[in-house]
């Protein structure tokens, strides 16, 4: 099997989880606790009184033009690919009609983008702004995308900006930034932005709610050729819907495009170095930035690392299988657990058998149905959190297994990016950005890979479905660049041993491949450690942000 160096390669069996971190999940789970050293999380920042304009910042003759990589992507080493690359993508698809995504007017040249003013408006407890970046960095004057920014100013600024990204790909950073108090990260203005393609920035649009529901309601774990073909046709149509509505935007939302925007934003904020805290997909952003922009790469915290090496991957679905077993161990030992009374293995099998029953007879929920895959995805949402979510998962599962699937379907919708009656932008940005960053082996490889992985995930993972979304996508993907961070500033990689969505082994490998990196291990369940509220993790992070001090080799927090 080809070892594809891409951040989403572990998603083969879990594409019904079309969103890794929807914004509301990130805010509710990651913001449970805050990093030490600042004011309490419930103490609001002072509310800005009036709009302010940040003057344009001149690019000096000796300065590298912001957004122009110090190391070109073409100069990077690449991991080898075995076999054909993306043979079934619909690269010749001729979109029908006019795209609904519109672009802003392009500025004259890269200098004009770098020297634009930033006008901050009050937005709740923070400041918000919109800036422009080139749609195509190689043709800046033709058209521009708009990037939404949120800044939470520090009461005692001393370090400049700390950019934050909650992951996805496709999760916006503006809400993530607004979830922090002014001095969560002491001395730093917290700046979040919605990357191109997401949130309130120029964003991806795909099909209607009915069309997207129809895709997710298909049998994502096909049992025969007819169900396989229906799933293939569903993803083929979805890719065309996204091209019809989004047009050229799909060709300019790779991680290389996003980190070039990051460098522009760094300059516009007045920072000589980019300090950054990224979670999940945000670690891919950080690794890419450190590699392409080592001269301005500051203190980077990369939490819940994705895979950036060419090692045989630990599939994401294995992470969920492990996390589900850990939850079952807890549940079996608790009197308060709604499903108490069985051993861990018996409990796991009971849930798996119930999921099997939904394959033939989905559970009605109003006008909709809780299918096998919807139920498995709903379970997965709770496994993003640590053990504080275990009791809630037990209660929601008991409800569903006794005939009321309302809350489990809501959990599935949350992770699929369906907010209320409509889909949020992350539901569409996730596949668009993921496929722009990756290569695949084509349609014929999907079921073979699923069959190969199935024995490793016999309880929860086998119910989580499969996908053909990238195989039928309408853009090429990035080559598998080897990201090394050579010449960059210090990098703190943080990995949780019980991480469901990005297995811990990936953090070990990321820290090994990025030259200036050091690993901090957090012995806990949950996806993301930095904002867990753990005092040991907070102490390491605070010290690193204060002066770049990395922890000792082998540092572990419990």
Residues 6+ positions from 451 with CB-CB distance below 8 Å: none
Grouping H, G, I as helix, E, B as strand and the rest as coil, residue 302 is strand
d(CA 319, CA 481) in angstroms, rounded, equals: 25
The pTM of the full predicted model, rounded to 2 decimals, is 0.91
pLDDT at 83 over 80: no
Nearest to 149 by CA among 167, 133, 130: 130
Residue 31 — very low, low, confident or very high, per pLDDT cuts 50/70/90? very low
Which stretches of 34-179 are assigned E, i.e. beta strand?
Answer: 52-54, 104-105, 118-123, 126-134, 143-152, 160-165
Please give the structure tokens belonging to residue 135.
Answer: 């749609």
CB 173 within 8 A of CB 165: yes
To the nearest whole number, what is the mean pLDDT of the chain?
Answer: 90
Cα angle for residues 73, 93, 256 (degrees, 5° grid): 15
pLDDT at 241 over 80: yes
Axis-axis angle for helices 344-360, 390-401 (nearest 10): 50
Which residue ranges make up each domain of the chain? 9-35+67-205+248-312+479-557
pLDDT at 274 over 60: yes
Residue 3 — very low, low, confident or very high, per pLDDT cuts 50/70/90? very low
Q: Mean pLDDT throughout 536-547?
A: 97
Residue 86 — very low, low, confident or very high, per pLDDT cuts 50/70/90? very high
Nearest to 510 by CA among 285, 295, 254: 285
Tokens 């605070």, residue located: 542
Give Cα 6 distance to the centre of its chain: 13
pLDDT at 35 over 60: no
- pLDDT for the residue numbered 384: 95
Running DSSP on this structure, what letter comes out for residue 78? B
Residue 24, Cβ density class (10 Å: 0-12 exposed, 13-18 middle, ≥19 buried): middle
pLDDT at 511 over 80: yes
pLDDT at 342 over 90: no
pLDDT digits (tens, 9 = 90+) for 96-117: 889 999 999 999 999 999 999 9
d(CA 319, CA 499) in angstroms, rounded, equals: 7
d(CA 29, CA 378) in angstroms, rounded, equals: 15
- pLDDT for the residue numbered 84: 78
The alpha-helical segments, DSSP class H, found in 371-405 are: 372-383, 390-401
pLDDT digits (tens, 9 = 90+) for 351-370: 999 999 999 999 999 999 99
Cα angle for residues 310, 76, 143 (degrees, 5° grid): 110
Residues 6+ positions from 528 with CB-CB distance below 8 Å: 29, 30, 279, 280, 303, 304, 496, 499
Q: What DSSP assignment string belongs to 140-176? A: TTTEEEEEEEEEE--SS--SEEEEEE--TTT--SHHH
Q: What percent of the chain has pLDDT over 70?
A: 91
Please give the structure tokens belonging to residue 523.
Answer: 């012995």
Cα angle for residues 435, 440, 442 (degrees, 5° grid): 120
E strand or H helix that includes residue 415: helix 406-416
Q: Mean pLDDT throughout 390-417?
A: 96
pLDDT digits (tens, 9 = 90+) for 122-144: 999 899 999 999 999 999 999 99
CB atoms closer than 10 angstroms to residue 312: 10
Q: Which residue has the higher pLDDT, 555 or 14?
A: 555
Residue 52 — very low, low, confident or very high, per pLDDT cuts 50/70/90? confident
d(CA 53, CA 121) in angstroms, rounded, equals: 9
- pLDDT for the residue numbered 378: 97
d(CA 172, CA 195) in angstroms, rounded, equals: 6
Q: Among 94-103, 257-266, 438-447, which range has the highest average pLDDT?
A: 257-266
Q: For the domain bounded by 9-35+67-205+248-312+479-557, which CATH number is listed? A: 3.40.50.1820
CB atoms closer than 10 angstroms to residue 511: 20
Residue 50 — very low, low, confident or very high, per pLDDT cuts 50/70/90? low
């Amino acid at each position: 099997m080809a070892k594809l160096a891409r951040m989403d390669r572990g998603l083969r069996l879990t594409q019904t989880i079309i969103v890794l971190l929807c914004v509301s999940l990130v805010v509710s789970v990651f913001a449970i606790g805050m990093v030490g050293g600042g004011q309490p999380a419930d103490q609001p920042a002072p509310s800005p009184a009036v709009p302010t304009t940040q003057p344009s910042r001149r690019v000096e003759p000796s300065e590298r033009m912001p957004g122009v990589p110090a190391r070109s992507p073409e100069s990077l080493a690449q991991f080898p690919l075995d076999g054909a690359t993306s043979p079934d993508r619909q690269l010749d698809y001729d979109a029908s009609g006019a795209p609904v995504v519109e672009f802003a007017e392009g500025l004259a040249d890269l200098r004009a983008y770098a020297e634009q003013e930033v006008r901050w408006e009050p937005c709740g407890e923070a400041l918000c702004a919109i800036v422009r970046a080139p749609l195509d960095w190689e043709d800046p004057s033709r058209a521009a995308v708009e990037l939404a920014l949120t800044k939470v100013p520090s009461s005692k600024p001393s370090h400049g900006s700390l950019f934050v990204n909650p992951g996805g790909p496709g999760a916006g950073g503006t809400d993530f930034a607004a979830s922090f108090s002014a001095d969560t990260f002491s001395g730093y203005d917290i700046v979040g932005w919605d990357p191109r393609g997401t949130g309130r920035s120029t964003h991806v649009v795909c099909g209607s709610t009915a069309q997207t529901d129809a895709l997710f309601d298909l049998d994502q774990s096909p049992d025969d050729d007819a169900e396989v073909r229906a799933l293939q046709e569903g993803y083929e149509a979805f890719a065309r819907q996204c091209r019809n509505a989004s047009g050229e935007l799909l060709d300019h939302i790779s991680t290389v495009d996003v980190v070039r925007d990051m460098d522009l934003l760094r300059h516009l904020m007045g920072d000589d170095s980019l300090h950054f805290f990224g979670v999940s997909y945000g670690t891919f952003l950080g690794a890419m930035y450190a590699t392409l922009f080592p001269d301005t790469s500051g203190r980077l915290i990369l939490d819940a690392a994705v895979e950036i090496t060419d090692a045989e991957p630990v599939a994401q679905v294995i992470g969920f299988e492990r996390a589900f077993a850990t939850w079952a161990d807890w549940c079996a030992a608790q009197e308060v657990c709604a499903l108490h009374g069985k051993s861990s293995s018996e409990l796991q099998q009971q849930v798996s058998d119930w999921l099997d029953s939904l394959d033939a007879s989905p559970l009605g929920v109003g006008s909709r149905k809780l299918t096998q895959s919807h139920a498995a995805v709903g379970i997965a949402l709770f496994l993003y959190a640590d053990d504080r979510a275990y009791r809630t998962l037990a209660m929601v599962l008991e409800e569903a297994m006794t005939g009321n699937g309302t809350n489990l379907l809501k959990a599935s919708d949350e992770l699929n990016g369906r907010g209320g009656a409509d889909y949020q932008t992350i539901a569409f940005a996730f596949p668009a950005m993921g496929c722009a960053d990756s290569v695949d082996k084509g349609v014929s490889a999907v079921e073979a890979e699923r069959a190969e992985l199935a024995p490793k995930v016999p309880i929860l993972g086998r119910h989580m479905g499969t996908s053909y979304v990238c195989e039928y996508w309408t853009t090429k993907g990035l080559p598998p660049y080897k990201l090394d961070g050579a010449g960059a500033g210090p990098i703190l990689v943080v990995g949780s041993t019980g991480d469901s969505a990005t297995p811990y082994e990936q953090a070990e490998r990321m820290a090994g491949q990025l030259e200036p990196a050091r690993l901090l291990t957090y012995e806990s369940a949950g996806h993301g450690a930095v904002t867990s509220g753990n005092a040991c993790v907070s102490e390491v992070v605070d010290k690193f942000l204060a002066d770049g001090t990395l922890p000792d080799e082998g540092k572990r927090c419990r």
